[in-house]
Chains A and B, each alone.
Chain A
Amino acid sequence: MLIKLTGGTLYDPANAIEGKVRDIYIRDGRIVPTPPASDPVHRSYALDGKIVMAGAIDLHTHIGGGKVNIARTMLPEDHRAHVRNRTTLTRSGGGHATPSTLVAGYRYAEMGYTSCFEPAILPVNARQAHMEMADTPMIDTGGYAMLGNDDLLLQLIAEGAEQETINDYVAWTLHATQCIGIKVVNPGGINAFKFNARELDVDDLHPHYRISPREILKTLSLALNNLGVPHPLHVHASNLGVPGNFHSTLTTMDAVEGLPIHLTHVQFHSYGAEGDRKFSSSAAEIAEAVNRHPNISIDVGQIMFGQTITVSGDTMRQYANHGHAHPNKWTCMDIECDAGCGVVPFRYRDKNFVNALQWAIGLELFLMIDDPWRVFLTTDHPNGAPFTSYPHLIRLLMDRSFRNDMLSQINPDAASSSHLGTLDRVYSLYEIAIMTRAAPARILGLTDRGHLAPGAIADIAVYHQNDNPEQMFQQPMLVFKQGEVVVEEGRITRPVNGTTQVVRPDYDTGIETRLGDWFEQYHSIKLQNFKISDDEMAAGIGSPVTIHPCHGRS
C-alpha cells in the first residue's frame, strides 16, 4: 500500500530540511523515495500548512522496572487524583508522576513520541523492565544496563583485569540484558554506600576496592568505545544534588580524557555553593565546559513545579535526600550485588529558593549550551517532572516573554541570582526538532528513525500551526507509527505495540567461564537464568528485538 502525505512543511534536521514543503511517501511502514507517477496512491493526507516532523524520541525516561513499580506502590494518591477511563480502544489506568504502563504509552503517543528509552535497567531486573515496557503500548522502547556499581566489575578493575576482559563483560551484559547502551550511576558510589560510605567524589577511593570513580568512568567509556557501541557511556555523575557539585561534574568530563560520554540530568549536577544560602547556579561553568568539549553530550533533567516522585539507582544520594520526602515516606533498596534504588516523593515549589533556582538552572543550561545536537530535552521523568510537561518546557524555550512571565512568579531571590532574565535566546522549531528527534537518534546510533528520508521507519508526527508551542506540541493532528495512523487530534485511534531496540557488539564468549564461576559462588541466580534470549523477548516478555548495528570492535 502506498501512502502519500501531501504539502506538509517539514522540519527534518538530519537531512538539513528546515521548513520546506515536501511530500512524503510511505510503503510497508517505511518512508520511500518518490515513486513513479504510474504507482497508484492508496491513501493520501492533505497536510498543507501543517508542521511535519519525525516521531519524537525520549532518550531518558524512567518508564519501566522495579523502582517505577515501587513508586506506583508508594503513591496510590497520585493514581487516585489522575484517572484515565477505559474506552472501546484503550485500557484504563492513571497516575501523573508514575503512570501505569498503558497510560504512559498512550500519553507519549498523544504528544507525538514514538520511541522511548529507560535509562536505568539493573541487569538483574532487566526482565521486569522489558515486561513493563512491553506493556507500554504505542512506542518502541529500549534501555541502558547499569554497570559500575556491580561487585563483579569493581573486583575486575581492582584486580587489574585487562581492558579486553572488561570489554567482553560489558558486551556480554548488553546481550544478556537486551539493552542498547550502558549507564553508570554515581560511579562506585551505590556500592560504597553498602559499605556505609556516605559520599564518594570522582577522585575518592572506594572504601573496599580502593579504586576511584575516575577509573570506573575511564574503563567503561573505553569499553564502549572499543566495542563500537554507538551510544557513549551514559553517565549519572557523582554527588547528585549536592551544593557545589559542579566541580564533580567538570572533573567527570575531564576524567574520560576525550572519549565520548553522555552526561544525564545535568541540571541536578550544576550547583554552586555561593551566596547566603550556600546554593547557587553553576550552569554557566557547565555550559561553557560542554561548549568546549565536543565529546560531551547532555540531557537537562528540567524540573517543573508540583508534586512528583524521584526514582533513581543512586541509593547513596536518594538516601541522603530522604529528609526532603514529600509526602514523608521513602524506600531504598540494595540489590543483588548489582546496584540499588531509591524512591523519594518530592514536591517542587516555585516559592522555595532552592526549587526555584533548580528550575532556572535547567533553563540556563538549555539556553547557554550552543549546540542543540548535544543537549536533549528531558525532565528525567519523573524526577524533575512527569514527561507530560514537555510541551510546557518547549514553550519556555521558544517564547521569551512567556519565560520571563514565569520567571517573575518564582522566588524573587532565586530569580535575581539567576542569569535567566538576561538570556535572549529562543529555540526555533528546527532546533526543537534537533533536540527531540534528530540528535537523540544520532547519539543512540538509530539510523532508522528520527528523520524523514527514504529508508526511515514511517514514525511521523504532524502538528497544527499554532503561535503557542505548548498547545501545538500537546496535541498533534496525526501521529503515524510504522506508517499507520495511531493518533488523530491528540487521541489514540489505533493501539499498537512496539519492539525493543538492542545492539549486539562482538565478544569472546569465553568470558562466561569467569562469570559462571562468580555466579556459582556468590549469586543467588544461575548465569543461564540471568540471560534473556530473543525467543524469551518475543514469546515470553512480549516485545521482540530490533537489532541496531555497532561500529565494529577496535
Chain B
Amino acid sequence: MWHNKIGNRTNAVTCPGCGLSCDDLRLEVSDGQLVSLENGCALARSFFDNALTPHDHDPMVNGNLASLNDAVAQSAELLRKAHAPLFAGLVTDVNGMRGALKVANRCGAILDHYNGDGLFRNIRVMQDNGWFATTFTEVRNRADLIIVVGNQCFDRFPRLIERILNPEYSLFSSASERKLILLGPWDSGSLPADTETMACTVIPVAHQQLSDATGLLRALIAGRPVNMQAFGDNTGGQLVELATQLKAAKYSVIAWSATELDFPHAELTIQGLADLIKDLNITTRSAALPLAGTLADVTSNQVCTWQLGYPLRTRLQRSYPEHDPLINRYQTLIEGKETDLLMWISSLSPRVLPPTTDSPTIVLGHPGMTFEHAPDVYIPVGVPGVDHPGHWYRSDAVCPMPLGRLRESGLPAVSQIMMLLNNKLRQTIGK
C-alpha cells in the first residue's frame, strides 16, 4: 500500500529487491530496525537489511561533511558549469525519475540507466519488431508449458517458481499438467531445488547457441527442413520434441532475463524468441515473459518514455529530446570523455556505485554507500519503500506497485533533492 504513516507491523509490503516485486511480505520494524521478515527471499532480506542499517546521513562536499543546503548549492553550481551533463544510474522511484527529468530538461542532460545494456536488449526488439507478451497473473493461471531461457533467472528472481510458474492455486492450468523446460547452459547437478516441484526437462544449450536453438525451433514449427548437427543427437532430439510440445500447448510461455543474455548482439536472440512466439500464435496461444525491473530499470524507463516520448538513452542537450540506443550508452560516453559531469542516482542499493570518471561527480545515493574516491558531492537519499512512499514497476511494465514507508529517517527522497536543484537552477539556466 502507498502510505506515509509509519506503523511497526506492516503487511502486504512490496519488496523492491528484484523485478518480481512480491507484495506479500510481512515486516516488523521497531525504532527503525528490522525485527522480523516473513515471505521474503535472500534478496529481500539483503535489501531490507541494507536499507534499515543505521548510517551517517550527512552529505559530503569534496569529501568533507556539509549541510544539505551547501551540497545542493554545490551540485547546482557544477550543473550550471557543465556543457554535457550525464544523469546515469537512475535507480529511483517514479517521483524520483519525474524530478530527474525536470532537472535534465533544464540543464540539457543525457539519460541512461545502470542496467541500460540489459534494458535495451529488450527495447530494441520492441522498436524493430514488437512482441506478444504476458504478465505474472496470466502465467500463474494459464501456462501449461514454460520455457525458461538461460540459467540465471532463478537466482535473479528467487521466488519465480513459487510465485509465478507453479503457484498453489491456478484457474485453468493444474500443476500436474505444467511442464517446465530449462533451455540454457545448465549442469544437470545444479538445478534449483524448487524445480523439483514441477515436471522439469533440461535442454543444455550454451548462451551463444540460444539463437541457433530458437531458429531451429522456428523451422521445426514451420515444417521446414532442418540440420541439427550443431546440437548433437541428444539435444537435437530434445529440441524436436520441444517443437512438438510447443505446437500442442494451449498457452506456452517463454521467459528470459535480458540482463543475463550478455553477449554480442543478444537482442537478435531475443528477437528470435519473439518471432518464435509470433509464429506459434498463428495456431495456438503463446506469450513472452521478459523478466526485468530489478534496480528500477523498468521504472525509470517508463517515466522517461511517457514524459519525453522516447525510452532512456535520450539526450536533451538541444532544445528537444534526441534518442539513440547506442550512442547514449553511459559507459561509452564516459570512456569517450563525451560528458563533463556525472550525476549518479542510486537509491536502492549501496553496491550500485558510480563508475570512475575524470569529470565532476554528484552522487544521490543509498545511505550505505562507501567510496574509494569521494565524489565531488554525495547526498545520501532515502530508500523508496523504506524512508518514503513511492511507486515502482515490476517486471512486466504494466503494474506500478505502491511502496509504503517504514521509518522516519529524515533522509530526503530523490524527488525532493531534484525539486531543490530545479529551484536553484531555475534562477540561472533556461529561464
Contacts and interface: CB of A to CB of B under 8 A. Distances in A.
Interface string B316-345: 100111010000000000000000000000
Interface in B293-327: 302-303, 305-311, 316, 319-321, 323
Contacts of B389: 536, 539-540
Given A329-B129, A540-B389, A522 B12 contact: no
A76 interface: yes
Interface string A191-220: 001111000000000001000000000000
A447 interface: no
5 contacts: A73-B123, A86-B430, A91-B105, A195-B285, A529-B1
A98 B169 CA distance: 39
A103 interface: yes
Contacts of B172: 208
A130 B134 CA distance: 22
Contacts of B316: 86, 92
Contact of A79 (B136, B142, B303, B321): B321
A136 B323 CA distance: 21
Interface string A518-548: 0001111110110111011001111000000
Contact of B138 (A91, A329, A334): A334
Nearest to B163: A524
B319 A85 contact: yes
B331 to A, nearest CB: 22
B321 A151 contact: no
Given A194-B251, A194-B285, A525-B23, A333 B98 contact: no
A24 to B, nearest CB: 34
A528 B12 contact: yes
Contact of B140 (A334, A524, A539): A524
A72 interface: yes
Contacts of A64: 306
B306 A101 contact: yes
Interface residues of A, number: 71
Contacts of A125: 398-399
A88 B431 contact: yes
Nearest to A64: B306
B4 A524 contact: no
A85 B320 contact: yes
A83 B320 contact: yes
Interface string A94-121: 1100111111000000000000000000
A335 interface: yes
B32 interface: no
Contacts of B319: 85-86, 92
B131 interface: yes
B398 A66 contact: yes
Given A522-B169, A529-B23, A540-B390, A332 B127 contact: no
A74 B130 contact: yes
B305 A524 contact: no
Contacts of B127: 73-74, 76, 329
Contacts of B2: 532-533, 535-536, 540
A480 to B, nearest CB: 25
B310 A76 contact: yes
Interface of B: 1-4, 11-12, 14, 23-24, 94-95, 98, 102, 105, 123, 126-138, 140-142, 163-164, 168-172, 250-251, 281, 284-285, 287, 302-303, 305-311, 316, 319-321, 323, 389-391, 396-402, 430-431
Contact of A94 (B311, B320, B390): B320
A337 interface: yes
Contact of A84 (B126, B170, B320): B320
A131 B308 contact: no
Contacts of B136: 336, 524
Given A131-B303, A540-B2, 15 more contacts: A64-B306, A76-B323, A79-B309, A83-B321, A88-B431, A92-B308, A92-B319, A95-B309, A128-B400, A131-B391, A329-B128, A526-B24, A531-B1, A535-B3, A539-B4
A504 to B, nearest CB: 19
Nearest to A94: B309
Nearest to A86: B319
Contact of B402 (A83, A98, A122, A529): A529
A364 interface: no
Contacts of B302: 69, 128
Contact of B309 (A72, A208, A343, A541): A72
Contacts of A195: 250, 285
A66 B430 CA distance: 32
Nearest to A87: B319
A522 B171 contact: yes
Given A86-B105, A131-B391, A529-B23, A79 B130 contact: no
Given A72-B305, A84-B320, A333-B134, A522 B4 contact: no
A151 B250 contact: no
B401 A525 contact: yes
B287 A94 contact: no
Contacts of B311: 73
Contacts of A76: 127, 310, 323
B164 A524 contact: yes
B308 A93 contact: yes
A69 B12 contact: no
Interface in A311-336: 319, 329-336
Contacts of B12: 526, 528-529
A68 B23 CA distance: 26
A100 B14 contact: no
A521 B398 contact: no
A86 B430 CA distance: 9
A72 B306 contact: yes
A70 interface: yes
Interface in A44-91: 64, 66, 68-70, 72-74, 76, 78-80, 83-86, 88, 91
A132 interface: yes
A124 interface: yes
A128 B398 contact: yes
B98 A86 contact: no
A101 B131 CA distance: 24
A127 interface: yes
B137 A336 contact: yes
A135 interface: yes
A526 B402 CA distance: 11
A207 to B, nearest CB: 11
Interface string A133-176: 00100000000000000010000000000000000000000000
Contacts of B132: 319, 331-333
A526 B126 CA distance: 30
Interface in A392-418: none
Contacts of B169: 521-522
Contacts of A343: 130
B306 A331 contact: no
A100 B391 contact: no
B320 A92 contact: yes
A135 B98 contact: yes
B398 A122 contact: yes
B98 A331 contact: no
Given A131-B400, A524-B164, A103 B135 contact: no
A99 B129 contact: no
Closest 6 CB pairs of A and B: A100-B309, A331-B130, A524-B136, A83-B320, A536-B2, A85-B319
A71 B98 CA distance: 20
Contacts of B135: 333-336, 524
A73 to B, nearest CB: 5
Contact of A331 (B126, B138, B396): B126
Contacts of B129: 329
A70 B308 contact: no
Contacts of A208: 172
Interface centre among A95, A529, A541 (most CB of B within 10 A): A529
Contacts of B310: 72, 76, 79
Contact of A526 (B4, B23, B128): B23
Contacts of A531: 1
